[in-house]
Amino acid sequence: MQEPEALSKPEWDALFAEFQEASPLDPATAPTVRERGDLVDAPTGDSENVAAPTYVRWRRVPTFLQSNARSRHYTLDPVTGVLTFGDGSLGLIPPPIANGITLRNLQTGGGNAANTAPPLAITELKTSLPFIDKVFNVTSPAGGSDAWDETATLQFGPQQIKNRGRAVTTEDYAWLIRQQFGQVARVRCLATTAPVTGGLGFKPGAVTCIVVPKTTDPTPQPTAGLLARIRAYVMQLALGGIVSDLYFTGPDYSVVRIGADVHPLDPGAASSVARRVVGALEEFFHPLTGGEQQSGWDFGRDVFLSEVNAVLERTPGVDFVTNVTLLDYPGATSLDVLANNLVASGAHQIRIV
């Protein structure tokens, strides 16, 4: 914020102290203010006052309830992008200077719906760039999340009161990660566990979090960037003695491949029925949106051929099915899924008879 008058030394000291004492969970501390020079965009000179005019960083706060008439505070709704300043009683009114407000690193997007754009959907540049002929996205967007609705508030609210922003139990880790990162669908945290060659192994004092992102991919895996952000966040909240033994990884999958003979109601529609059957199996075995309730599969949840039969027989165009098998486990009536694995769909073999 550009200010027309120099800050007095008491104002300067109060502003610096306020940033220094901010909670680690307060968005105003990103980036962290370590030195007085971090609060201004102009040199302070040799005097006790900041040279005027100068740009002074104001602090973002959740509400103005603890602001006074001289508090350089603002609120920001990251979903709508609405920026609000005080009214002179609760929070200082910005100086009436043209183009005096500067926003840095402000980003907003389309929420969870923005993640649905498929690869190659982005084909245009907003502005031309030298030597660039064309652009396109090679993967679907990721990272968008919606604001809490009533259901999410009822889920996360009691947990906030319980954990008080500290990660102590494995349950705390899971809730804090899901609360902070809307693009995360599931988290499974394991105590005394660390990654070893070929999987996970026992390690005293270690904590491993298995992170599953929100995505339509058949086998969702978190990006390295997402895992790095999660680690940086959790390290601020965990007990100091174990921050060096925190591990974050993606899930392992137990791939399910189904073989079946399908008898269609209309033999002339055999090809379309086969495609619908394969599509129904792929939807059913999706780790996040599959299952009988379409709410995904729990870690370690076994697969039974009886429920696969039900999926096949309720597919439109199917009369009945026979010889339903687990291709990788001939003769088995169920698939035993490892405790820390999720189910995923494989290449099914459907024969129309």
Give me the long-range contacts of 222-229 (CB less than 8 A, separation at least 24): 222/184, 222/248, 222/250, 223/142, 226/142, 226/143, 226/181, 226/183, 226/184, 229/181
* pLDDT tens digit sequence for 276-333: 999 999 999 999 999 999 999 999 999 999 999 999 999 999 999 999 999 999 999 9
Confidence of residue 143 (pLDDT cuts 50, 70, 90): low
Task: Determine the distance from the C-alpha atom of residue 325 to the mean position of all C-alpha atoms in its chain, rounded to a whole number.
Answer: 36
Predicted confidence at residue 29, as pLDDT, reads 46
Predicted confidence at residue 343, as pLDDT, reads 96
Predicted confidence at residue 106, as pLDDT, reads 75
Predicted confidence at residue 101, as pLDDT, reads 87
Which residues, 6+ apart, have CB-to-CB distance to 74 below 8 Å? 58, 59, 60, 61, 83, 84, 85, 86, 91
- Tell me what the mean pLDDT of segment 337-353 comes to: 94
Q: Residue 28: pLDDT above 60?
A: no
Confidence of residue 159 (pLDDT cuts 50, 70, 90): confident
Q: Residue 152: pLDDT above 70?
A: yes
- Tell me what the mean pLDDT of segment 74-91 comes to: 88
- Calculate what percentage of the chain has a pLDDT beyond 70: 90
Beta bridge pairs of residue 190: 208
What is the amino acid identity at position 126?
Answer: K
DSSP, collapsed to helix, strand or coil, labels residue 54 as strand
Confidence of residue 37 (pLDDT cuts 50, 70, 90): low
Distances in Å between the alpha carbon of 264 and those of 272, 281, 308, 310? 10, 16, 17, 15
CA dihedral for 85, 87, 93, 98, sign (positive or negative): positive
What is the C-alpha to C-alpha distance for residues 289 and 280, in angstroms, rounded to an integer?
Answer: 12
Alpha helices in the chain (DSSP H): 9-20, 150-163, 170-180, 224-235, 270-284, 305-313
* pLDDT tens digit sequence for 45-73: 444 554 445 788 888 888 999 899 989 89
